[in-house]
Structure 1
């Protein structure tokens, strides 16, 4: 509303204020309302006292106060973010960094406690500037992408967001599409990859695509072909280093023993997995198994010395793609040897 130009006009157009009576009805006594506000603090004090007492009795930490505080912080962050309403900013892809970082408590719990991820070579990821991360893909659902993103944000001395490229089929699902875009993912298309790299982002690509996540358990840790090396051509044009990433552990979270192709076609999915628990246990069958994970970031493959026109040399592109694939495959075998067992 635009204010009137003079005080006379404002006085003429003003109206008497209406006295609004407080809403009638039952209202809790003031001491009870104060107790409601202070209840979380009292609860934390009680848990802290119980933790100290249990430590005195057992000689070890039975209650992880740090983890409890992380949960409290997560709930508080979600409440604060909900109060933003529509007053928040996203980029052209729908990415909301503040909202994404609020879920770090959940992702870190999966990373440290559930899958007990051991990460090496994260120093090869640049602290600034663009880079293309290329990894093997497995596990029916893309939990490997989530753990790679968490590893860079948690383990790197300069935490950064990784923008993963996702198959177009998943971007067509109503709820999942919204969540993926909100947390920084984009459609696995060369144009989106180029735009992200031009903004000096870290981009994560899975050349195996759904052929990797949908392969049978008997073919675990055997890499599929990397297509025609499109990721290499994109990296050359963007002058972005390629960082191979080997992931061990994702193959066992949903051991895929079959594929119901007719149902997959019915629902428009690349595959409809059958595991020892899905679909027999219903929603419980979607809980991933607590396998032991290892993630290795390899030294970057530099392409800065190549002119952008080299991206049209198919022989060169395929040679580099094969080299990246071989590096990832060797890393998988080496990390399998270092892992004592599937769940240890």
Structure 2
């Protein structure tokens, strides 16, 4: 599989703050009016240094909580403190134009050496360990962190001695009502000769209700339904051990993974409870950045 344009020795070179700035009025309108976002926990972001931001995917391919978090980051933290988000390399194959726009806002295709290169040069990373299966998990599982035992992000944090800052959200998974994941029966049909669309194994095959298709099947692009979104930045997690040896200790990696998932699940349960009770607070108006972005920042 050919690598995306940002998977080389200097990933993220396509990031363009001017493009981000042009997108922000749209994001802000969605933030205030369409999703009526409320947010909390931004004081948890370390004042300096690197971090590994770890989130749970929600709402299918649109994942509307992601641009809402991005808007808060740029308004509150600014453009100079760079964060690059890891995206599935298949996005560059199936949706090249969308991938190009994503790259301009800071996305890079996930390859281990690309992720390490970002951390080695002093920048931060945003990862969604659950991937497509998390983004398209059934609606009944919307209050469940679904990382599927993937520990690569833990090894990355340990190896580079960076704290993990969890990001959670509630409401985004109501913008696409996933009824069921039909991947297993579709996989059996594929084994009998039914080809995958674009010749690519989608790894998930949801049956869902959403715009613009109504009732649809397959991981298709979607327009999010209007739903109130609540986001939260959680307390940073710093592990006792770090370094190459710690990242190769399977038992230790698993214990760190279990800790992260447990803390994120606890925070998600609390956020869901307060959101349902209507005491999560009013939508927070994004702060203005201290400086406008400069090309190449």
TM-score by length of 2: 0.75
Q: Distance in 1 between matches of 2:19 and 2:210?
A: 32
Q: Does 1:276 align with 2:196?
A: no
1:203 corresponds in structure 2 to: 125
Change (3 A) 1:102 1:272: same
Q: Secondary structure of 1:119's partner?
A: strand
2:5 corresponds in structure 1 to: none
**Corresponding residue to 2:74 among 142, 153, 166:** 153
1:315 corresponds in structure 2 to: 251
Q: Distance in 2 between matches of 1:100 and 1:270?
A: 30
1:136 corresponds in structure 2 to: 56
Q: Does 1:96 align with 2:16?
A: yes
Q: Distance in 1 between matches of 2:236 and 2:11?
A: 28
Q: Which has the higher helix share?
A: 1
TM alignment of 1:275-314, pairs within 5 A: 275-278=208-211, 279-280=213-214, 286-303=222-239, 306-314=242-250
Moved more, 187-196 or 271-280: 271-280
TM alignment of 1:21-32, pairs within 5 A: none
Q: Which has the higher strand share?
A: 2
Q: Distance in 2 between matches of 1:126 and 1:330?
A: 21
Aligned residues: 252
Q: Distance in 2 between matches of 1:264 and 1:213?
A: 23
Greater relative contact order, per chain length (Cα 8 Å cut-off, separation 6+): 2
Considering only aligned residues, what root-mean-square deviation do their CA atoms show, in Å?
2.8
Offset at residue 226 of structure 1 (A): 4.4
Q: Which runs of 5+ in 1 are unaligned?
A: 1-89
Query: Per-residue displacement from partner, 1:129-164 (whole Å, max 9, x unpaired)?
Result: 210011111211232322222222224488744321
Q: Does 1:224 align with 2:146?
A: yes
Runs of 4+ in structure 1 displaced over 6 angstroms? none
2:107 corresponds in structure 1 to: 185
Q: Secondary structure of 1:203's partner?
A: strand
**Corresponding residue to 1:336 among 272, 275, 278:** 272
1:54 corresponds in structure 2 to: none
Offset at residue 301 of structure 1 (A): 1.2
Structure number, greater radius of gyration: 1
